[in-house]
Amino acid sequence: MSIKQHIPNAVTLLNLLSGCIAVIFAVHGNFVIAAMFVFLGIFFDFFDGLLARKLNVQSPLGIQLDSLADLVTSGVVPGIIMFKLISFTIDAPDYSSYSDSWNSVFHWQGFKLSLLPLIGLLIPLASAYRLAKFNLDEDQQSYFKGLPVPANTLLILSLPLILEYQNNDFMNAIIINKWFLIGITLLSCYLLNSNIKLFALKFKNWTFTDNAVRYIFLILSVVALVVLHFAAIPIIILLYVVLSLLTKSKI
């Protein structure tokens, strides 16, 4: 086996490493650094596939390894972040009068775990299921069936980044609402495993006629990012779904 066959897998492992580091920062509530490592992991995720195609060394091992790395970077990390965000929206209960009854919080020798934020962990479960289906589906070459896990990750990561950098009271009030966060969680889990056909950003050629929806999407996305910054990301994901539904006959 030549060295070049290991190069894409090494890049995939860098994706996994980035995801593991992001997990550490996410657990400690440092969402900005966690997001930086997730973005780095998504870059490696794109780059490993590109390398495999350029070097002509695609392999079943690479496919499985890629999904395992994605599960951490684009599954576990957004799940932890959503868990933490929902936790922040819940008023701290009064533990001074705690009894041994198990109500909304588990207690293990001083460790307290509220049940409601666990809903955020549906994201890694839905991501794992979506990745497993993707590996078995041979049809998803020119399109995706359901929202790709990196796109869903960007959606979840945009929420703490909006809070950190946008400094907008209206947007903050929406995001720091447990029912909004739970709704986003359930919606993302549905989109991940839906049968909605979404166009892939793969250009077989550069003509506008054959790639109109891709060019329109990219142009609108760039404009939205310039104008709205991180707040543009949820809009871009919505735009992606809407354009795919409007042009499904051409996907």
pTM for the model stands at: 0.87
Q: Which residue has the tokens 């250009």?
A: 203
> Is residue 217 in some structural domain?
no
What's residue 192's pLDDT?
Answer: 97
Quickly list DSSP for 208-226: TTTTHHHHHHHHHHHHHHH
Q: How many helices (H) and strands (E) does the chain have?
A: 10, 4
Query: How many domains does the chain divide into?
Result: 1
The pLDDT tens digits of the residues spanning 160-170 come to 999 999 989 99
Q: List the CATH number of the domain containing 169.
A: 1.20.120.1760
Average pLDDT value over all residues in the chain: 87
Residue 174 DSSP SS3: helix
Asked if 8 contacts 51 with a C-beta cutoff of 8 angstroms, the reply is yes
Instruction: Specify if 103 maps to a domain.
Output: no
Q: What is the pLDDT of residue 92?
A: 42
Domain for residue 242, yes or no?
no
Q: What angle do CA 50, 54, 55 make, to 5 degrees?
A: 115
H or E element in which residue 12 lies: helix 7-27
Q: Is the pLDDT of residue 1 over 60?
A: no
The Cα–Cα gap between 167 and 56 comes to 47
Q: Does residue 64 lie in a domain region? A: yes
Q: Does the residue 251 lie in any domain?
A: no
In a domain, 180, yes or no: yes
Return the biggest CA–CA distance within the chain: 69
The range of the structural domain enclosing residue 181 comes to 3-91+113-198
The reply to whether 190 falls in a domain is: yes
* 20-45 per-position pLDDT tens digit: 999 999 999 999 999 999 999 999 99
Q: How confident is the model at residue 99 (pLDDT cuts 50, 70, 90)?
A: very low
Token pair of 120 as six digits: 């955020």
Whether residue 219 lies inside any domain: the answer is no
Q: Which two tokens stand for residue 162?
A: 């909006």
DSSP strand pairing (197-199 vs 143-145)? antiparallel
State the Cα torsion 219-221-227-229 to the nearest 10°: -150
pLDDT, tens digit (0-9, with 9 covering 90-100), for 55-78:
887 888 888 999 999 999 999 999
Rounded CA-CA distance 33/25 in Å is 7
State residue 59's pLDDT score: 82
